[in-house]
Structure 1
Amino acid sequence: MSEQQQPDPFDDAEDTDGVDNVHEPDVFDEIVDAETDRDPDLAVIEAGSRTLRTQAGPPQGDQMPTRPADPEVDKALREVETDLATRWGETKLEPSVSRISALMDVLGEPQRAYPSIHITGTNGKTSTARMIEALLGAFELRTGRYTSPHVQSITERITLDGVPIAPERFVATYHDIKPYVEMVDAAQEFRLSFFEVLTGMAYAAFADAPVDVAVVEVGMGGSWDATNVIDGSVAVVTPIALDHTDRLGDTAAAIAGEKAGVIKQGATVILAQQPVEAAQVMLKKAVEVDATVAREGMEFGVVSREVAVGGQLLTLRGLGGEYEEIFLPLYGAHQAHNAAVALAAVEAFFGIGEQHARTLDMDAVRSAFASVVSPGRLEVVRRSPTVVLDAAHNPAGAQAAADGITEAFGFSRLIGVVGTSSDKDVKAILEAFEPVFTEIVVTQNSSHRAMNADELAAVAVEVFGDERVVVEPRLDDALEAAVTLAEEEAEYAGAGVLVTGSVITVGEARLLLGRG
C-alpha cells in the first residue's frame, strides 16, 4: 500500500493525549523442539479419547489451521515438513547469522521490501505480536506475522493479514526458495537450520504478498537469531526472565545483552517492565545506537483494568494519550501489559511520540483489541468442567498463568495437567502452580525432549506431596483423569482443569479436545 493510500490512523477529535543431521548447531534445538520433533502423524493423539473430543464443543473461530482436506495437498505439506525435519540435528557451534544473511543475499534481500516491527523478550512475545498485528490491520495495513513456536500446525508460523498461510502457499514458498537454500548449503561450512529456512520462507512470502509491514518474533535471543537480518524501525522487548540459560546466560543482564541485538541504529525501542539489570543493559544499547526508548510505567502503561465477562476492560496510556474502555478478550494482568506494549509499538510505528501527541483512532483501537485471540494462552476449550490451556513453560510464565487463572475464574477446585520439556526449571514451574492446584496429573507429550512422566512425578511429589499427585504417561489418559477429578467436586460448576507446561503439551491437548 503506498503512503498516499494509507488511511489516517489518527482521530482528530481525540488528540488530548526429525532426523538428526550432523551439520546443525544445538543453539536451535529449543526452537525445533516445538516445531519439528513431533511425530507428524501424532499417533498417540489420534488414538485419544472420543469422549474428550465430543464433549469439547465446536471450535470458536480462532483461525487455527487444520490438516489440509485435499489429500494431495496434505501429502505435499507432509513431504515439506519431513524435508525440513532432516535439518534439525545439531553440533557444537557458535551462533551466527552468516548463513541466513547468505540466503537473504541470493534471494534478493526480501526482508528489506517492507518495514518491520521486531519483538524479543522471554514471555508474551506471541500474544504481543498478535495484538500488534490486529492494531495494524485495523488501519488497513496488510500485515505479515512470523512467530514461533506453533501450537498445532507449522503453517501457523507465517500469517498474512492475520490468517495462517494456506498449506498450498506454504508448500509453494518452500519449493520456490529450495534451490537457493541448497546453493547456500553448498557454500557454507554448516547447512541452514530448520529455523533459518523457515525464516527465509517467511521473509520471501511477505515480499511476495506483498505486505505493508512485518511483525516478527525472534526465535531465541536476538543478536544471533535468524530473524535479525531485518532492520526493525520499532524494536519491542517484552519482559525478560530466566530461560534458555545454557544458551543466553544465567542472569537477566546476560540475557538482555543477547536480546538487545534487535535494537538497530535510530530505532524506537518499546520496553516492557523489566528487572533493573535488564533495563540497564537495554538502555545502554539504545544510547550506543542512538535509539529512542519508551518505557512501560514511564512513557506508557496500564492505567486501570478490571475483570470482565470473557476477558478484561482496560484503560491504557499510550505515547500520545489515554485510550479508555478497551475490551481485551484475554485473561490475566500479563495480557493487559502486553496490550500496553503493543499499543505503544503501533503508535511508534505511526510516528506518535513526544513530537506528535495524538492518539490513534479510538474506535479502530477498540475494535482491534476486541478481535484478538491467542490460542494456548489461558484459552478455554471446554465447559462442564471448564478446561483451560496455557503454554507456560518457564517459572515466570507459570506464575503469570497461575495469577491469571485465579483472578479470572476463581475455581473452587483446580486440577493441573502438566507435561514439560526435560531441560526446563521444572521444580520452579511446579512451585508457581502449587498454591492453585488442588491436585496435579503429570504426563508427557510426544516430543523426544519431553520429561519422562515418572521423573516429573518425582519432582511433583517434592512440591505437592504424594497424595496430590497422579501419574498418567499418556496425555489422553491424563486429560480423562483430570476431568474425572474435577467432576468429583460436589459443586461441579466450581471445578476446572488447567493443561500446561509446554507448547507441545497444549497443542496436543487441543487436538484431543477437538480444536484442530
Structure 2
Amino acid sequence: MSDSAHDRIVAELQARWPEHRVGPSTARVEALCDLMGDPQRAYPVIQVAGTNGKGTTAIMIEKILLAMGLRVGRYCSPHLMDLTERICIDGEPIAKERFDALLGEVQPLIAMVDAQEIDGIPMTFFEVMTGLAYWAFAEAPVDVAVVEVGLGGRWDATNVADASVAVICPIDLDHTHILGSTRAEIATEKAGIIKEGSVAVVAAQAPEVAEVIVERCAEVGARIVAEGEGFALLDRQPGVGGQIVRLEGAGGPVGDLILPVFGAHMAHNAALALGAVEAFLGGKPVPADALAEGLEAVTAPARLEVVRQGPTIVLDSCHNPHGARATMDALAESFTFTPLIGVVAMMADKDVEGVLEIFAEQMQTIVCTQVASTDRGMPVDELADIAAGIVGEDRVVSAPSIADAIERAVALADADGAGAGILIAGSVVAAGEARGLLVHEHGGEAGADDLAEEDR
C-alpha cells in the first residue's frame, strides 16, 4: 500500500474523537477487546503511568527486556511523526503496511462497537489505537507488553489490561482540567492502574502523592516496591553523549552503566525501569550484562535530542513546569550554550506562563511560534505577549511556523558565534513538527540545504 493510502487511513482514524477530548470510560474499548477475544490477556503487561517520564521509562524497560532475550511489545503515546511509532514490537515501530492491514482486519469490529453508541459516542481515536496495539501484540505474539498510559489511569483505555506490574512515574500537576486540581486528586486517577495482586513500582513522590498510592495498594492488596528501598540511583557522572550511572537492584549495586541520554531525571527513570523489570521477574535480579546492554541501547527521540550541529539544535518535548524544570536542569548540566536561543510553541490548555518562566531563566532569546497540525496550539501572538510579560519585548521574537522559527533561531545563533545553541521545546506536537524538518527517516541530521528545501 502506498504512503498516500496510509496517510488517508491515518487521517480517517484521527478524525475520530481526539485524545484531548476525554470520554472517561473503558466501556467502549472493553467491548472491542471482547469482540477480539480479549487479546490484552494473552501476555503479561507492565503498565506505566505518571505525569512525566512515562515514555522514557517504558523505553528503558523495553530495552532491558529485549537484552534478556524476550519478545517485547511497547505501546506509547503520543507519536512524533507517524502513528506507527505508537505500536512497537521488538523495539521497532510496526510497518505502515501491517498497520493498515491490521486496521482493516479490526474495522468491522470497531463498526460494531460504534453502532452500540456506548455513552453516546463512537470509539475514540485513542481507544481504537489501544485495541489495535493489544491485537498486534497477541498476534506477534509477544512475551510481555510494556504499555504507557495515555491520560490518567483509572479510566484510560489501556487500563482494560490487568497489569501484573504497575509503574508509577513522578506525579505532578498537568491536565488539571481533567484529572483534578491537586497532586492528590491526580494521583488518585493514576493509581487506578494498580490492580489486585499486582506489584506497584513507584518513583520518589511528594508526600501527598505517596499517601494516595499506599492507600490504593492496601485497598487492592498490591505490593509496593518504592524508589530508595527496592531500587535506587546510587551515583551518576555526566559525560559526552549521556552519563554513567550506578544503580541498586535486587542483586546489589551495578556500576559503570552507560546511559546515552541526559539529565538526573533520566538516571532516575533508569532506576525505576530496573525496579519494574525485577518486579516482573518476581523479585529476581536482572543479569548485569543484560542491564548494561539494555541501558546502552536506549534512545529517546525529542528528549534533549541533538538533531543538528553548527549551530547545535536540541529538541525536547517538555510541556509542563515539572518537565520543563527537569529539561532545563539537564541542559545546563550537559551543554554550555552562550547564548541559548529558544524556539517555543505550546498548547493553549497548558500552564504556559509556568513553563515560560522556567525557560526564561536560561533562554536569552525566545522565538515564539505555533504548531500547524492541531488547533489546540496557542496562537503565536498570544504566546509572544505572555513571553514578553515575563522577559521583556526585547528578548522575544515571533515566527508564524516551526520552520520559520527554526530559520530565525539559526540566524540569531550564527550571528552570536560558535557558542550559541538552540533548544526547541514546549510541546510534543511542536517537537514532532520540528523533528520532521530536521531529521531524515533514516535517522541522520538534515543539513542547511535540506532545511531550506523544506522551507520552500
Q: 1:312 aligns with which of 243, 253, 266?
A: 243
Query: For residues 32 and 439 of structure 2, what CA distance do their matches in structure 1 show?
Result: 39
**1:349-373 Cα distance to aligned partner (Å, 9 max, x none):** 1112xxx5xx321111111100100
Query: For residues 8 and 367 of structure 2, what CA distance do their matches in structure 1 show?
Result: 36
- Who is 1:177 aligned against? 106
Query: For residues 299 and 89 of structure 1, what CA distance do their matches in structure 2 show?
Result: 38
After superposition, the Cα gap between the structure-2 partners of 1:91 and 1:302, relative to the gap in structure 1 and judged at 3 Å, is closer
Query: For residues 369 and 94 of structure 1, what CA distance do their matches in structure 2 show?
Result: 37
**1:229-267 Cα distance to aligned partner (Å, 9 max, x none):** 101110000010100001000100000000011001111
**Contact residue 179 and residue 185 of structure 2 kept, 8 A:** yes
Cα shift at 1:512: 1.3
Cα shift at 1:93: 7.4
- Who is 1:499 aligned against? 424
Query: For residues 435 and 93 of structure 1, what CA distance do their matches in structure 2 show?
Result: 34
**1:330-386 Cα distance to aligned partner (Å, 9 max, x none):** 00111001000001100111112xxx5xx3211111111001001000000011111
Is residue 102 of structure 1 aligned with residue 31 of structure 2? yes
- Who is 2:253 aligned against? 322
**Contact residue 231 and residue 264 of structure 1 kept, 8 A:** yes
SS in 2 for 1:401: helix
- Who is 2:69 aligned against? 140
Residue type of the alignment partner of 2:139: D
Cα shift at 1:151: 0.7
Is residue 451 of structure 1 aligned with residue 382 of structure 2? no
Q: 1:289 aligns with which of 220, 228, 242?
A: 220
Q: 2:357 aligns with which of 415, 422, 431?
A: 431
Cα shift at 1:412: 2.0
Query: For residues 192 and 94 of structure 1, what CA distance do their matches in structure 2 show?
Result: 9
Gapped regions of structure 2 (runs ≥ 5): 442-456
Q: 1:465 aligns with which of 379, 392, 408?
A: 392
Larger CA deviation: 181-190 vs 147-156: 181-190
Larger CA deviation: 473-482 vs 413-422: 473-482
After superposition, the Cα gap between the structure-2 partners of 1:90 and 1:435, relative to the gap in structure 1 and judged at 3 Å, is closer
Residue type of the alignment partner of 1:478: A
After superposition, the Cα gap between the structure-2 partners of 1:391 and 1:77, relative to the gap in structure 1 and judged at 3 Å, is same
Cα shift at 1:301: 1.3
Query: For residues 251 and 203 of structure 2, what CA distance do their matches in structure 1 show?
Result: 17
Cα shift at 1:124: 0.6
SS in 1 for 2:363: coil
Cα shift at 1:77: 1.2
Query: For residues 483 and 414 of structure 1, what CA distance do their matches in structure 2 show?
Result: 11
Matches for 1:208-219 after TM superposition, within 5 Å: 208-219=139-150
SS in 2 for 1:488: helix
Residue type of the alignment partner of 1:329: P
Q: 1:369 aligns with which of 282, 295, 317?
A: 295
Q: 1:116 aligns with which of 25, 32, 45?
A: 45
Tell me how many residue pairs correspond in the alignment.
Answer: 438
- Who is 1:44 aligned against? none
Gapped regions of structure 1 (runs ≥ 5): 1-71
Q: CA RMSD in A?
A: 1.4
Cα shift at 1:188: 3.0
- Who is 1:416 aligned against? 342
SS in 2 for 1:381: strand
**Contact residue 47 and residue 149 of structure 2 kept, 8 A:** yes
Cα shift at 1:411: 1.5
Residue type of the alignment partner of 1:423: D
Residue type of the alignment partner of 2:28: R
Between 1 and 2, higher relative CO (CA 8 Å, sep ≥ 6) is seen in 1
Query: For residues 153 and 132 of structure 2, what CA distance do their matches in structure 1 show?
Result: 19
Residue type of the alignment partner of 2:429: I
**Contact residue 73 and residue 167 of structure 1 kept, 8 A:** no
- Who is 1:162 aligned against? 91
**1:48-100 Cα distance to aligned partner (Å, 9 max, x none):** xxxxxxxxxxxxxxxxxxxxxxxx43133122212212212699976111111
- Who is 2:276 aligned against? 345
Query: For residues 289 and 311 of structure 1, what CA distance do their matches in structure 2 show?
Result: 39
Residue type of the alignment partner of 1:512: L
**Contact residue 445 and residue 505 of structure 1 kept, 8 A:** yes
Residue type of the alignment partner of 1:496: G
Would you identify which runs of 4 or more consecutive aligned residues in structure 1 move more than 3 Å?
89-94
Matches for 1:219-230 after TM superposition, within 5 Å: 219-230=150-161
Query: For residues 33 and 357 of structure 2, what CA distance do their matches in structure 1 show?
Result: 44
**Contact residue 265 and residue 291 of structure 1 kept, 8 A:** yes
Larger CA deviation: 154-163 vs 363-372: 363-372
Matches for 1:17-416 after TM superposition, within 5 Å: 72-88=1-17, 95-189=24-118, 190-352=121-283, 356=284, 359-416=285-342
**Contact residue 223 and residue 262 of structure 1 kept, 8 A:** yes
Query: For residues 162 and 347 of structure 2, what CA distance do their matches in structure 1 show?
Result: 33
- Who is 1:476 aligned against? 403
SS in 1 for 2:422: strand
- Who is 1:60 aligned against? none
**1:256-305 Cα distance to aligned partner (Å, 9 max, x none):** 00001100111111101111111110010001111111111232211000
SS in 2 for 1:235: strand
**1:468-515 Cα distance to aligned partner (Å, 9 max, x none):** 11111221111011111112224x1x2110000111111111111133
SS in 2 for 1:438: strand
* TM-score, normalised relative to structure 1: 0.83
Query: For residues 260 and 383 of structure 2, what CA distance do their matches in structure 1 show?
Result: 33
**Contact residue 120 and residue 238 of structure 1 kept, 8 A:** yes
Identity %: 51
Residue type of the alignment partner of 1:334: H
